[in-house]
Each structure stands twice: as structure tokens, then as C-alpha cells.
Chain A
Amino acid sequence: MLNDSGDPPKATLKLSQERSLEERISPDEVQLVYETYHRELFAFLIGVLNDPSAAQDVSQVVFRRLIELGHTAQRETIKGWLFTVAMNEALDYRRKVVRQRQHLEEYCKQIENSQGPTVDEVLVSEEEASRLRELITQLPKDQQQVVRLRIHTGKTFAVIATELQVPLNTVLTRMRLALDKLRKGMHNEFGSGNE
């Protein structure tokens, strides 16, 4: 199912409608799905769980489910099925696992001790980070300020509004406008970049 250059096709995959229920999804198809969607799925799980270690665990569970149950997918594309499973597993994980903080601490220790990439480096390439750096400097100062405060210091919008002595809606608007500009700038350079 790979194209001539050996890359996975950009188009979404469809499962054969003629496959019987007993037939499992083939290893090649699993590999193709993994190569196509694992990065975006990992980013999605980090967004939901806010815990890189938990995101990795759930990601593995999702692809295990793909092997076991991928052939039963009723949806038009496998991607939708994959993300639905991921969301269910993430909610399950959050309900069951109480020790999220311990996982993050262990993960941070692993990051400190290992030579491996950080979460930031895994999700965003160096070229993308470089382009983002440029785009941030092109933002109006007030938008830059809100972005830096929110992302780097982790202060909530309400706290930022209090510190800057502006209405909360002003902070939200600045952040939103900044994100729109950054998103457009990145899209112009790299496309959707999700697959």
C-alpha cells in the first residue's frame, strides 16, 4: 500500500468492505497506519492528558487495539476510528490512574538521564521551531507578551489579566489573534503538517 517512493500515501486509508470479521488487519496496514498517524495521535493524547508518559502508554494501547479490532471499524476512514479509540482510552486512563504526577516526575527524570529528545523536540522539528521563533518576533508587542506569559510561565489568562491590569477578554483576544497569525504563518511554510 506504499507508493513508489516507499512513503505512505497522504490520502486517508479505507478498510476493505469485503473483509470478514475473522480477518485481522495486516501487519503492513498496521505499520502504514502507525507511520501515517502516530505523531498526530501522540500530540492529540498529550493535549488531552497533559502527561507525556501517559500519552505514550495510551498510544501503545491504541495501536494494540488497532491490531485486535481494526478490521471491525465501521467508520469511513481508519483515522476517525483511531482517534475515537484514543479518546476513550485516554478518558479511561484518566479515571483509573491517580498517580499522574508520579509518572511525570519519572518521565522528567528519564529525560534528564537519557540522551533522548524532549517532548517539544518530538512534536516540533527544528525548522518549525525556527520558523515559530521568527513569527513570534513579528507579533505586536502586546500579543507577544501574552503568549510568553501564558506558554512559558504557565500563568492562567485570568492571572495575566490581573497582572497586566487589562480585562480578561483583552488577554483572550490578544492570545487568539496571536495564535491565528502563528498558525497561518506555519501553514504557509509547512502546510497542515499533521500527517
Chain B
Amino acid sequence: MMSTDMDNDLNWLAMRYVLGELSESDRDAFEQRLLGDLAACEAIAAASRMRHGLHATIADSLVHQPSQQIVRSSARSLPAVAAALLCLSVTFVGVGYWLSSPVSNHIAAELVSRWRTGMDASIDDSDTSVDEIDDSNVESEIPEWLIAGVALENQNSSNGHDNEVKDN
């Protein structure tokens, strides 16, 4: 038991030496010991191998960890993503249906106008001169669902006009 404790003490001392954790005086004393103590030399060799083994092992496990986490977190978030997509679809259909009603004929244009105004305001906030704003860039910032909604409204309004003509 006692020799095991002494072995453990020597192994621990050797590891601290290899890691550079000994004070200068302790390190010098230990190095003097290494000149004549084979067991201490063997402990250094073992500590060095343990250190490099751990280094390789930990580095390897950290390389694999992020991708596994991404896969796991992606799998967990799939139901949430599906629910979000469903909500977006319903919203899109709802907005499109709403925009297609005759009452909202001008509202779509109003929305686009307000959106553009909002973009202008945000650009103003960033101290950019109004004259420097390129309308085409602003145009491209309008979300697609809004554009689609306007297009649908325009299509339905033209269809509605044709139906009125037919009815008449």
C-alpha cells in the first residue's frame, strides 16, 4: 500500500514536471533526481505519453462534437421548424386572400408605399442622404410575400373585372 502511495506521488510529481507546473526550485531538485533515479525517469516517460495521449483524445473528441451537436439540435428543432413553416404558409394564404378582396384594392399599394417609407426612414436613421438612395435597391428589399400578395390582388381584381363584364 505504501509503495503504491509513493508510486502515485512520483507519478503526480512527474506529471506536474511535464506540464511545467513545478516551481523553479522544485523543478531543479527533480531534475537532479532524474540523473540517478530510474523510477523517476520512467515516471516522466509515462507522464509524457499520458499527456500526449490525452491531448490527441481530447482534440479528436472536440472535432467530432460540434457536428454531432448540430445534427442532434437539428433533429430536435424539426417539429418547431415545421410548425413555423405551417404558420408562415397560413399567413401567406391569409394575406393573399385578404389582399384579393375588393376592399383592399388600394391597401396593397398602400402597404408597399408604407414599406418603402419605412425603409426610407431606416436609411435616414443611418445618416445616409436621401439623394443617395437607389430606389432599385430599396425595391429589392420588399419581402416577396408582399409582392406576391400585390400580384395576386392585381390578378384577382382583373379576373373580377372580367367576371363583372361576363355577368353584365
Give A residues with C-beta under 8 Å from B. 40-41, 43-44, 46-48, 50, 77, 79-80, 83-84, 86-88, 91, 118-121, 123-124, 128-129, 132-133, 136, 147-148, 150-152, 156-157, 175-176, 179-180, 182-183, 186, 192-194
Selected contact of B55 from candidates A77, A79, A88, A120, CB within 8 Å: A120
Residues of the B chain whose Cβ atoms lie less than 8 Å from the Cβ of A150? 19
Residues of the A chain whose Cβ atoms lie less than 8 Å from the Cβ of B53? 120, 123-124, 128-129, 132
State whether A87 touches B41 (Cβ < 8 A): yes
The 3 lowest CB-CB distance pairs between A and B, nearest first, are: A47-B48, A120-B56, A124-B53
Give B residues with C-beta under 8 Å from A. 8, 11-12, 14-15, 17-21, 31, 34-36, 38, 41-42, 44-62
State whether B58 touches A47 (Cβ < 8 A): no
Please judge, given known A-B contacts A133-B61, A151-B58, A179-B12, whether A87 and B35 are in contact too, CB under 8 Å.
yes
In the bound complex, CA of A99 to CA of B51 (Å): 24
State whether A151 touches B51 (Cβ < 8 A): yes
Please judge, given known A-B contacts A87-B35, A129-B56, whether A182 and B41 are in contact too, CB under 8 Å.
no
State whether B56 touches A183 (Cβ < 8 A): no
Selected contact of B35 from candidates A88, A156, A182, A183, CB within 8 Å: A88
Residues of the A chain whose Cβ atoms lie less than 8 Å from the Cβ of B50? 179, 182-183, 186
Interface of B is mostly: helix
Residues of the B chain whose Cβ atoms lie less than 8 Å from the Cβ of A133? 57, 60-61
State whether B44 touches A47 (Cβ < 8 A): yes
A187's nearest neighbour on chain B, judged by CB, is B46
What are 18 inter-chain pairs, A to B, with CB distance below 8 A? A43-B52, A46-B52, A47-B17, A83-B34, A118-B56, A119-B52, A120-B52, A120-B53, A120-B55, A124-B52, A129-B60, A132-B54, A133-B61, A136-B57, A136-B61, A176-B12, A179-B11, A179-B12
Apart from A129-B57, A136-B58, what are 7 other A-B pairs with CB-CB below 8 Å?
A47-B47, A87-B35, A120-B52, A124-B53, A129-B53, A148-B58, A152-B58
Q: How far is the CB of A3 from chain B (nearest CB, A)?
A: 23
State whether B21 touches A157 (Cβ < 8 A): yes
Q: How far is the CB of B21 from chain A (nearest CB, A)?
A: 6
Q: How far is the CB of B12 from chain A (nearest CB, A)?
A: 5
Residues of the A chain whose Cβ atoms lie less than 8 Å from the Cβ of B20? 50, 156
Residues of the B chain whose Cβ atoms lie less than 8 Å from the Cβ of A80? 38
State whether B11 touches A84 (Cβ < 8 A): no
State whether B56 touches A84 (Cβ < 8 A): no
